[in-house]
Structure 1
Amino acid sequence: MSEPDEDGADSAHANADRGERIAKWLARAGVASRRDAEKLLPGGRVKLNNTLVSHPASFVQPGDIVQVDGRVIDAPDRARLWRYHKPDGLVTTHRDPEGRPTVFASLPPGLPRVVSVGRLDLGSEGLLLLTNDGSLARRLELPSNGWIRRYRVRVFGMVDERRLADLVRGSEIDGVRYGPIEAGLDSRKGDNAWITVALREGRNREVRRVMLDLNLHVSRLIRTAYGPFQLGTLARRELEEVQGKVLREQVPGLAPAPRH
């Protein structure tokens, strides 16, 4: 379980002398999310200065050598963020046990190792944020940010606009409680319609499940915005880095990683 205020100034000051927790260091280096980095430790896969690390309360200082599975990990670079237009048919994972094509295998060469901010499932498309900093990814995913995720959804079925408007009150489906969703009908042609959807939490397959509860089958799901970051005119599979100045403006307190 993570410590409170782990990214706050008091915490940073308290840990300045002993360094940075190894899982957070690995996350910032783009190895994995902080949670997944912690899972590497009990398996004897991580070494710090040639000594196996098994406890998360291990700290990395400037000049230390960190290895994962025998590979030396470069010290974290400054936090970077990219906008990527994910097409459907790709899974948002580094390795898929079913052998399906992945987002990360489709990225251009020369890119540092990146992790996604949230996910889009196999059949979904649109804006996917990618970062080289696992701690930043975790921070951007927190519901406490209040960032709105926006989607355009094509559905098949008869849209009941009253029930659509009622989603703003939240809903419960199969015992799962979903937060408020703003949804409105854009256009309709026969049994097909386009709906705009805005939500703050974004649980797994939330939009599809909520639409199905309204007797609507989702045939296309496009994320157009994640907080202040927009899909814009990005073509499918196009990748564009967010300028550092813009990133710092949108994520207060974000600072360049120290040079080791």
Structure 2
Amino acid sequence: MEEKTQDNTLKGERIAKVLARAGIGSRRAVERMIAAGMVKIDGKIIDTPAMLITSVDGITVDGQKVQEPEQERLWVYHKPTGRLTTYHDPEGRPTIFEALPANMPRVISVGRLDLNTEGLLLLTNDGGLARWLELPSTGWVRTYRVRVNGRFHHKKLEEISKGVTIDGVNYRKVDIELDDRKEGVNQWMTVKIREGKNREVRKLLEYAGMTVTRLLRTSYGPFELGKIQRGSVEEVSRSDLLINCKEYFKDKSVEIPDVKISDKPKAKKAGWAKSKPKKNAKPKRNKFKRKSKEK
């Protein structure tokens, strides 16, 4: 919230917070931009992220004028393999942001998917919302469909399911379900994690003796990939955003729709989207229990 002086006049908010909300980047990213001398106000370099401002008038980032923060928005993007989740790659490899439709505003990714991982990636125009969506404290499960090669060790899978430490990194418990579906020597499985550490699924399954040959994220909390085609993006409706993220909005003077939270939120189909998210409910599964082949 904006700070006030003793006479109740607006004192402003920290510039890093305002620029994050304007979609320039996360607060940490904005702080790095400020440290690099990329942020100016009326042509003068800003040297501290603690500077208080009441508007973005006169502020530029890397020579580009900053627009006033818009209403929070969220998109579901089907990331294809071969693209990095970054604005710029020194090696010149393609990024997700280069492939987004021209009518998209500047957006921030909620977490990352590595070069060879595909599937659901959330995008937002609000840095504060992006940070909140990334926090493990939300309790949201990230679900992946995984194809692996190699013989796995049941004992190590059991360790993974309860939480394990690998190379000094602690991983929380993970739900794993094996499929009957096979492709030659490859085995399919569903993996559900609650934190999303760097290359977590790959590292956990390598620990169990398997090599991941395909990794597809199908859901992130209540938001699902459904039938969105590779490279396509769909905007989440304002009502579903407010309902499913009501904890984030509760202190922001935003009216939350009085509707029961849906397990399968609808997405607002944008002009460039090719299909709507699938709404079929998933049955509850027991870890390590094999399921019948999917049709």
TM-score after normalising by structure 1: 0.88
Q: Provide structure 1 residue ranges, at least 5 long, that are not aligned to the other structure.
A: 1-11
Q: Structure 2 matches for 1:1-150, cutoff 5 A? A: 12=1, 14=3, 17-62=10-55, 64-150=57-143
Question: Given the alignment of the two structures, is residue 201 of structure 1 paired with residue 169 of structure 2, yes or no?
Answer: no
Match of 1:152 among 145, 157, 164: 145
SS of 2:29's equivalent? Answer: helix
Stretch moving more, 98-107 or 59-68: 59-68
Q: Structure 2 matches for 1:216-235, cutoff 5 A? A: 216-235=210-229
- The residue identity in structure 2 corresponding to 1:151 is Y
SS of 1:18's equivalent? Answer: strand
TM-score after normalising by structure 2: 0.78
How far residue 207 of structure 1 moved from its aligned partner, in angstroms, is: 0.6
- The residue identity in structure 1 corresponding to 2:212 is V
> 2:286 is matched with which residue?
none
SS of 1:19's equivalent? Answer: strand
Q: Structure 2 matches for 1:148-187, cutoff 5 A? A: 148-187=141-180
CA deviations over 1:120-170 (Å, ceiling 9, x no partner): 001000000011111211111011111111101000012344532432211
Residue pair 1:44, 1:52 contacting (<8 A) in 2 also: yes
How far residue 237 of structure 1 moved from its aligned partner, in angstroms, is: 0.8
Q: Provide structure 2 residue ranges, at least 5 long, that are not aligned to the other structure.
A: 255-295
How far residue 89 of structure 1 moved from its aligned partner, in angstroms, is: 0.9
Residues 27 and 73 of structure 1: CA distance in aligned 2, closer, same or farther (over 3 Å): same
**In 1, Cα distance between equivalents of 2:56 and 2:73:** 22
**In 2, Cα distance between equivalents of 1:235 and 1:220:** 17
How far residue 97 of structure 1 moved from its aligned partner, in angstroms, is: 1.1
- The residue identity in structure 2 corresponding to 1:244 is R
**In 2, Cα distance between equivalents of 1:183 and 1:80:** 32
- The residue identity in structure 2 corresponding to 1:127 is L
- The residue identity in structure 2 corresponding to 1:243 is S
**In 2, Cα distance between equivalents of 1:131 and 1:243:** 12
> 2:263 is matched with which residue?
none
**In 2, Cα distance between equivalents of 1:63 and 1:156:** 52
- The residue identity in structure 1 corresponding to 2:169 is V
- The residue identity in structure 1 corresponding to 2:16 is A
**In 2, Cα distance between equivalents of 1:55 and 1:192:** 53
**In 2, Cα distance between equivalents of 1:90 and 1:115:** 15
How far residue 30 of structure 1 moved from its aligned partner, in angstroms, is: 1.2
**In 2, Cα distance between equivalents of 1:132 and 1:172:** 35
Q: Structure 2 matches for 1:232-243, cutoff 5 A? A: 232-243=226-237
- The residue identity in structure 2 corresponding to 1:59 is L
Residue pair 1:158, 1:191 contacting (<8 A) in 2 also: no
Q: CA RMSD in A?
A: 1.9
How far residue 188 of structure 1 moved from its aligned partner, in angstroms, is: 4.6
Seq. identity, %:
50
Stretch moving more, 51-60 or 225-234: 51-60
CA deviations over 1:195-247 (Å, ceiling 9, x no partner): 11111111000110111111101000000111111011111111000011110
Stretch moving more, 226-235 or 56-65: 56-65
SS of 1:246's equivalent? Answer: helix
